[in-house]
Structure 1
Amino acid sequence: MNEKVAIQTLPQEIQNINQGEVQLHEYLISKSVTKNKVQLNKNVFSFLLDGTKELITHNKTTLIESDKFLLIKSGNCLMSENISLSNNYRSMLLFFPDQAIENFLTKYKFDKKSNANDAPFLIFKYDTITTNIVENLVHLKNHPKAFLDTILPLKLEEILMHLVQKNGVDFLYNFLHQTNDSNKSFIETIQKNALINLSIQELSFLCNMSVSTFKRKFEKEFQTSPKKWFQEKRLEHSDYLLKTKKMRPADIYEDVGFENFSSFVQAYKHKFGITPKQSQLNS
């Protein structure tokens, strides 16, 4: 099981950050962290400079390297940051509220009539312009807070305008709409993360629920307990890996959510009537 960790609320828990609408923070660590529970009260550009990041949201998971950067919608997510060969993970974080997008679209007279796709985050690849913008942010980080409160909204506009010119404006409408179908979002969270080795605590966090509420809702929707449902899905996936991908049983048990090899063999035999090895030999 994954250890229970505290929820980090950003940007409000960051000390000594400027207090304007748009906020800048340099994040630097020398030890990798895994599945940190993060509650974002603002949207954020996460500009990777060193290391890699894995991001898990209610319906999407990805791993990105330092040749890319993220635009993450406010909400709950799990973040893992892995240090590079230089033993560092470094990123510049630029936080901003939904209203900043509204203001941007109004100021530059973009049409606001569009359908949002409700993507929890977007990935962009660095180019010369974004690299220069981020380098400028690095130089700005130590300036007085009053100056940052004035300049950062302009830097945000610069980034947004470049991305709009390059990718079109539609991606911004994602930040003007929130899904109202909580039941659909709950089911999507379960289905999208069925094969990811997350604890019930982590899944309930992604659903913005207490563990007890999560379990009650799960049993109502799926007519079984979370433990049984996820084990069924992961055993079915393990059967696919054994028979189709020809992977060794000892190489997959952790990936399908089992703490040790013997418990995996026992569960597999209980479901399929034979051991993983026997199943592979018979296929």
Structure 2
Amino acid sequence: MEFVTNYITPDIKLSCYEDKLFKTEVVFDQHMLVWFISGETKIIQADNEYIFRAGDIFLIPRNQLATVINYPKDGLPHKTVVMHLTTDRLRTFYAPIEVKPKAAISQKIRCFSDHPLLKSCFASVIPYFEVQEQFPENIASLKINEAISILRIIDSEIDGILANFEEPGKIDLVSFMEKNFMFNMPMEKFGYLTGRSLSTFNRDFRKHFNATPQKWLTQKRLELAYYQLTEKKKKPVEVYLEVGFEDLSHFSYAFKKQFGYTPTGLGSRAG
């Protein structure tokens, strides 16, 4: 089954998933504040890997590439409440606040465990999902502003993320792609994140790598998969999603085409 998502406002939702797993590769256009009710999520970024479980609360900053794999766990569905902290709302929130410039703040996921203030804020919206009645916009605004205010109390660096409204500028293409090739994103999104139009991205890519983006990406993903299988001793079913393939059969086909044998054939060759 697909995700069942219940929005009480466009910016507050409850997601529930009961199947084996759900995987997506995304760049969130807005900051996402998430409260985990049940299930488990693995989030893979270029430099970090996170596991979140029931009770965890975390913030995913906008414009960050991530592979998200969601699982039910212990007989319970994967269930979360999510607040979208939109740029428009944050501009309004910060308009009367003087934010002092700080050194560059890491855009990694920020974890808040089960902080009681954030947990209380999230728990207070649950009844609105249950009664299935119209959620007044003024109450929704109060709840989201409450969450932002709590974040500012418990995280001294959060203004450097939430009050930063800059869009991605033109950056070094080679270092970005070498760091983020495992994310199965549309080329338009890669272009946006490197500060380029699609046509400029494709032109610059061929200039630097002497190959088409898709051919180069497939090659890099297969090389990473080979490393994970041989050095990390992972199984093909553990690897294919993490290196940017959508299904196991396509991964096995591409792997055999590249290396001459299937991923499962590695064990017999090593022996």
Give the structure-2-normalised TM-score.
0.67
Tell me the residue number matched to 1:190. Answer: 177
CA contact (8 A) 2:99 2:159 kept: no
Q: Which of 94, 111, 121 is the aligned partner of 1:123?
A: 111
* Count of residues in correspondence between the two structures: 253
In structure 2, runs of 5+ residues without a counterpart are 193-197
Structure 2 residue 83 is matched with structure 1 residue 94:
yes
Decide whether aligned partners of structure 1 residues 35 and 190 sit closer, same or farther in structure 2, where only a CA change above 3 A counts. farther
Q: How does 1:237-256 map to 2 (within 5 A)?
A: 237=224, 240=227, 245=232, 247=233, 254=240
Distance 1:37 1:240 in 2: 21
Q: How does 1:173-252 map to 2 (within 5 A)?
A: 173-175=160-162, 176-184=164-172, 186-187=173-174, 189-194=176-181, 196=182, 198-199=183-184, 202-204=185-187, 206-207=189-190, 213=199, 215-230=202-217, 232-234=219-221, 237=224, 240=227, 245=232, 247=233
Report the 3-state secondary structure (helix = DSSP H, G, I; strand = E; otherwise coil) of the residue aligned with 2:9: coil
CA contact (8 A) 1:76 1:206 kept: no
Letter in 2 for 1:190: M
Alpha-carbon offset, residue 225 of structure 1: 3.0
Tell me the residue number matched to 1:25. Answer: 13
Give the structure-1-normalised TM-score.
0.65
Letter in 2 for 1:124: F
- Structure ranking higher on relative contact order (CA contacts 8 Å, 6+ apart): 1
Tell me the residue number matched to 1:45. Answer: 33
**Identity percentage of aligned residues:** 14
Deviations 1:112-166 (A, max 9, x none): 3223436164332112222222211212444754x63122332223323333222
Tell me the residue number matched to 1:155. Answer: 143
Greater Rg over alpha carbons, structure: 1
Distance 2:234 2:68 in 1: 29
Alpha-carbon offset, residue 83 of structure 1: 1.7
Distance 1:253 1:45 in 2: 28
CA contact (8 A) 2:228 2:239 kept: no
Structure 2 residue 101 is matched with structure 1 residue 113:
yes
In structure 1, runs of 5+ residues without a counterpart are 1-7, 9-13
Decide whether aligned partners of structure 1 residues 178 and 261 sit closer, same or farther in structure 2, where only a CA change above 3 A counts. same
Structure 2 residue 82 is matched with structure 1 residue 82:
no
